[in-house]
Structure 1
Amino acid sequence: MREIVVISGKGGTGKTTVSAAFAHLAENKVICDLDVDAPDLHILLDPKARETHAFVSGHKAEIRHDACLSCGKCAALCAFDAISLNNDGYAVDPLRCEGCGVCAHLCPAKAIDFEEQHCGDWQISDTRFGPMVHALLFPGQENSGKLVSLLKSEARSLAKAQGLDTVLCDGSPGVGCPVISSLSGASLAVGVVEPTPSGRHDFQRVADLCRHFRVPLAVIINKADLNEKEADAMAEECAQRGDALLGRLPFDPVVTRAMVARKALTEFDNPVGNRLKDMWSALQNLNVRR
């Protein structure tokens, strides 16, 4: 089974547009949206939920006032200043609480509950391109890397159960924890980059991350005609690093029209969609481990 993850050094580079096109073109695959903080692949693929599950992770402290002695030990021990005294007694600020559990374990009255948190929901859905695994964290919740790992595990299990040979993932932007989880066990990363000085910096960071985890990287330069000098510099860097350059995409309003129509660019005839078809064919010819 091969696992392809589409990533970018930042948001807004066209990663999901590329992912939707590849999801349309790929055969025998499970689609997986790993951008759990702000997913948007579902906008183009219109998934119909088959299963919905709660994502439970981490803990938060909550003081039971009926049992609290108002000794203040919890507030004194809290390293995050999450516990303060108000008119009703001591209380935990859920936005400051880091879930370390010190207050609950050392409260002399055992008056602090330390429950697991319902941080979001994940789903297995059906789309016109095949099965899809995706999720959404609630606002302000953490553990996105753990949720990404869960989605990848579920996608692999689903592919194995249905005899599918590809897991195609729309990864998270940036180079943080969810991206590291996205790359774990991947056969190939496809980096979508923009030809600007900051875009080249982002590209270098994500390329270094792939190299660190020994994940082969193939690159697509999006909106390449807006800054051909930077696009050429990126292509040269790909050659120097040994990364495959799948090709360049032009800036074209057809991308916006496809988004409005909630279609992948490859679902109708247009120059950008045709280039994406060529890039997918080029990707098939890469020596991708399984």
Structure 2
Amino acid sequence: MKQLLILSGKGGTGKTTIASAFIKLSKAKAYADCDVDAPNLHLITKQNSLPKKTDYYGLPKAEIDIELCIECGQCMQNCRFEAISADGKYKVDPFACEGCGVCELVCPVEAVTLKPAVAGELLLYTDGEKVFSTAQLKMGSGTSGMLVTEVKKQMKSAAADVEFAIIDGSPGIGCPVIASLSGVDMVLIVAEPSISGISDMERIINTAAKFGVKTAVCINKFDTNMQNTEKIENFCKGQGISLLGRIPFDLDAVKAINNGQTIVDIDCASGAAVKAIYSKTMELLFEEGGGLRS
């Protein structure tokens, strides 16, 4: 399965807007939303069936058996996360507990145990021949990178015979992005012409380079700052990174998204630009070889 990952380095650049357009243009039979902290691809890619839901277990959480507890205070004194309080009875705050196990280790009467805890929920939509994999991390839960890995595994397992998949990645360069990058064939980075946008683009390019993944860039809302657009273009040229196109700022695109449509569902300037970028992306993805190209 060829996997195209769409990243941005920061939120709000239009990554999901472009991912949803690519899904529509390619008539993708397998796709995933790996932004498990705030998934929103499902808002545009309408699903005709209810998802199969599976609990995702992250790090275990400590629990105190009040029948065994002798209230010695060792657990609370040794918890570096201040997750244990003694308001009448000793208890653990599950949002603060990191599951390190120190409290279990120091308890003299074995009143503390680490128990599996649900940290999120995997969702799998199967609509005819289409497979859409996503997830939602619970508030305050960690291990988002591990959940992203499960999202991708779920997609590949359910769409084992599909040749091509599109993945909408997470913003930033943290664990979810690292997990998103693992095993993909190409990364399309959506950049915006702002100071922070340029900085974040450079960071995600450097991160992708560690994986040796074929990388390309497109510029969204390029006409909002032509000077910074030129900086992005010069950077890509200097690094030998394919620049696949520019997308103009387009109020019609905003209206389409607000109506639950992709920008290629309507006749608009941004949609036309994305169609051209899509064609170049597919050509680059399926060409022989990998890595960066000039």
Q: What's the TM-score, normalizing by structure 1?
A: 0.94
How far has the Cα of 1:64 moved from its partner? 1.6
Q: Secondary structure at the match of 2:170?
A: strand
Label 1:90 to 1:46 Cα distance change in 2 as closer, same or farther (>3 A). Answer: same
User: In structure 2, how many angstroms separate the alpha carbons of the residues matched to 1:166 and 1:275?
Assistant: 22
**In structure 1, what is the Cα distance between the partners aligned to 2:288 and 2:15?**
20
Contact 2:190–2:217 (CA under 8 A) maintained in structure 1: yes
Taking structure 1 as reference, are residues 220 and 202 closer, same or farther at Cα in structure 2, changes over 3 Å only?
Answer: same
C-alpha contact 1:188 1:288 (8 A) present in aligned 2: no
1:24 is matched with 24
Q: Which residue number corresponds to residue 238 of structure 1? A: 236
Partner of 2:5: 5
How far apart are the structure 2 equivalents of 1:19 and 1:28? Answer: 11
The 2-side partners of 1:218 and 1:154 are apart by 26
Between stretches 271-280 and 9-18, larger displacement belongs to 271-280
Q: Residue in 2 aligned with 1:194?
A: 192
Whichever residue aligns with residue 90 of structure 1, its letter is Y
Show the counterpart of 2:163.
165
Aligned residues: 287
Question: How many Å separate the matches in 1 of 2:72 and 2:219?
Answer: 61
Q: In 2, are the aligned partners of 1:55 and 1:122 still within 8 Å (CA)?
A: yes
Q: Note if contact 2:244-2:280 (Cα within 8 Å) is conserved in structure 1.
A: yes
Distance in 1 between residues matched to 2:38 and 2:127, nearest whole Å? 19
Question: Quick check: 108-117 or 138-147, which moved more?
Answer: 108-117
2-side partners of 1:276 and 1:130: how far apart?
Answer: 22
Mapped pair 1:259 → 2:257: yes
Deviations 1:46-104 (A, max 9, x none): 22334111111111112121210111121222222322322x22222223211101212
Quote how far apart the aligned CAs of 1:28 are. Answer: 5.1
Amino acid at match of 2:55: A
Q: Is 1:268 paired with 2:266? A: yes
With over 3 angstroms needed to count, the CA separation of the structure-2 counterparts of 1:289 and 1:183, relative to structure 1, is: farther
Letter in 1 for 2:249: F
- Contact kept? 1:2, 1:288, Cα under 8 Å: no
1:121 equivalenced with 2:124 (yes/no): no
Letter in 2 for 1:39: P
Once the two structures are overlaid, the 10-residue window that deviates more, 165-174 or 64-73, is 64-73
The Cα shift of 1:27 comes to 4.1
The percentage of counterpart residues that share the same residue type is 37
1:282 is matched with 280
* 2:226 partner letter: E
Looking at structure 2, the residues matched to 169 and 3 of structure 1 have their Cα atoms a distance apart, in angstroms, of: 7
Q: Between 90-99 and 127-136, report the one with greater CA deviation.
A: 127-136
Q: Take 2:79 and 2:140, find their aligned partners in 1: how far apart are those partners?
A: 21
The residue number in structure 1 matching 2:76 is 75
In structure 1, list runs of 5 or more residues that go unmatched.
none
1:49 is aligned to 50
